[in-house]
Structure 1
């Protein structure tokens, strides 16, 4: 039963109770793995399975001899002999030399074909590299030309002798319908609270002041200009 719902129960029982003398300890709380595991001789050596098997068999044979010194060892294993088919080996050894010559000729032809293919691939690769270099050079030349034209245009615009209209009127070049002496409008000329102290009653009556700002002429013009 869990006592997580009463964490202050044990302290409230006080030390006078003798029940606290005997304690129950879980096996998971006991110290374990108190000794390090060291390497033993032979652990780091890489031996094949055949060697390990031979060593195991030798140990079994020694133990059997020690237990039964007079008995014959029944489990003594004789070394296995690999039997080879001598007839097949003789036929392989008696291969005529003409076949070797034919194989050599075929190998030479294959090598020549491989060399031709390699040369063709190298020529194609060199051609692709040359095309890429030419394309890169054309792009660099076009970029240099564009940069030079931009620089010349900037110099011409900055020189008042070459660009007289820009020197006289700035960035705004007058047109035929716009007079030269027209003053430039300010960005806040059409604000609602600008020029409110005018004494012209006709102008005041034309404005049509209202208490609701969403019904003013300024709000209508603003909405028609930007939220159309």
Structure 2
């Protein structure tokens, strides 16, 4: 016989059965996860200062170099930089002038194309005498010769408003015309 159909009396008593302890008593066991973890504080140390970039370390200095910052070729380098700057400004001016000229040419070309489109768009206003009048053929649409063209353009017949009178309604009138006449 199976033991699965036992009444729930024994589990309902909650820990007072044979071989079980009282569940309300405080246990002496505890998990390692319940223990305190971080028991000491870390204190800040003094910040490490970064060396200044403008100070040159002593290891990078040559003993042979004089400590004077004056160079003997200062005049030559000044002349070179001045000539390079003059050349740079001249090149920039040339590029700006070329860009302005290209922009003007582009605008003139766009205006010319726009005027050509305006003048040649309507064949009735053809100002140029070069095109013969035989070319004035009106194009037909692809659906001009369709059999059932414009079928749905008729407006539906108005059925009239609803009349809440059985003797004057449209159905009653048609019925009377059909069967009584």
Normalization by structure 2: what TM-score?
Answer: 0.41
Higher helix share: 1
Normalization by structure 1: what TM-score?
Answer: 0.34
